[in-house]
Structure 1
Amino acid sequence: MQRFNRLIQSTTTATTKAHWTPFRLFTTEAESTRPGYAPGFAPPPNSRDTPKLSSKRRNLGTSLPSHLGNASQRTAAETTSPKKHHREELRTRRHQYAQELLEKHGRREAAAAAKRMLNQEKIEAVRAELIKEQEEQKALEDEVVSMLSLNATESLADTRTKRDATRVANRLQFEANQKESRLKLISKLYASTENFVTLDNLDERVDAVVKTKQQLPYAGSLHELLSAQSVDRAEIEKRKEMLKEAVGL
């Protein structure tokens, strides 16, 4: 029984390998040679083996039979069979239609060529006219630009002259204002020279400040002076100014 089971298992394994491995190899080898698809991939369903030809309008000059000019000289009277007579008439009629079609095609081609030539001449004429208009427009623009450039140059020169004159006037006015300010300061300084505090008169200035209004209460510091009830605010401010002036602040 065990031998039978091993035999079945080995047979199944061999069948599986024999079924899958050749199929993969066959698929890869077969599909890898198909143009337009990657190796190992099948083409889409309902796909064509060859590309579809585009159905464009045929060229009548090359698509008609080439033996129209060498048509047989046999007539319908030479034939005796009704079928041959009918086929001969059909062939004659077919060649006649083909010849008429070729003539119409030739006339259409000639008309199309003449129309193309006329259109090309019109295009060249319009192009030459456009080029001429562009050249005239460019010449006019250059003339206007040159005129504007001259006016702009003159305006720029006038602007620079006015600006320089304004700068000179402003500088002179500033210097005059500075001179006047310095003169006022010097005059004020000269008027107050007698009140200057120097090392020579420092003691005299301090004694004069101390001796003024001895009736005021003595205060050891500015805080005590401000806290005193008998001293008004105006007197305190006056004493502070005198001290600052004595010290030179």
Structure 2
Amino acid sequence: MRKKPLTFYLAATGLITVYLLILQAAANLNKPVFYGLVALLALFIVFITARKPQNVLDFFRSMKLAVSVLIYFTIAVIIGTLILQNVEPARYLQSYSPGFYKFVKLLTLQDTYHSVWFSGLVILLNINILICTLNHLPIRKKKIGFFLIHLSIVIVVIGGSISAFFGMKGYINFHEGETVNEFQLTQYNQMLDQKIQMGFQLRLDKFEVDHYAPDYRVYVYTRSDSKNKFGMPYSFKS
């Protein structure tokens, strides 16, 4: 099979990203449409895999695919950096126009790292790394490092995804001698009217605050007589 150029993988990854963005919009607007598009995508993958399994395998195990996904990852991170993340709606309306805020909500750009399209890129990268790793089986001594590095990346990404989608953030306010077994759930840096049982007890026996006196020091630097050709001293003396 003739190897595809990097531009092919960039275009293919771009089309996948666009489809994921459409899925995101459908998830926010109409759940039945979202599920229908997911089913359509699954049928397409099954159909292509059944007809040309080797082509599909070559596509997913290509290093050029990994490069393409990482490029789109970089774009996603830039978006997540430039657009406010997980703040109250009033902050968005203060910073952006109502129309742009609707667009941000439509594509879940205000919560980029928990969005459908970002998760799709994570899954695509994981599939690529996993297939590349399995492609080097059986493991030889020279490839143990390669295998462990790729496997560790997969584990880290899966762990981060589990934490992002199934983890919870909360707040506890208690004093010395108190014991608590629940926390106040928070979302978008705001406390919700919902308490979650932790499944264990947390007791605060003692709380201390240490204050340190400031250490003021005065340093005096004098220039040496020797200078370099730029007229700057070679050294300073204190």
Structure with more of its chain in strand, by fraction? 2
TM-score normalised by L of structure 2: 0.17
TM-score normalised by L of structure 1: 0.17
Structure with more of its chain in helix, by fraction? 1
Q: Tell me: higher relative CO, structure 1 or 2? Use CA pairs within 8 A at least 6 residues apart.
A: 2
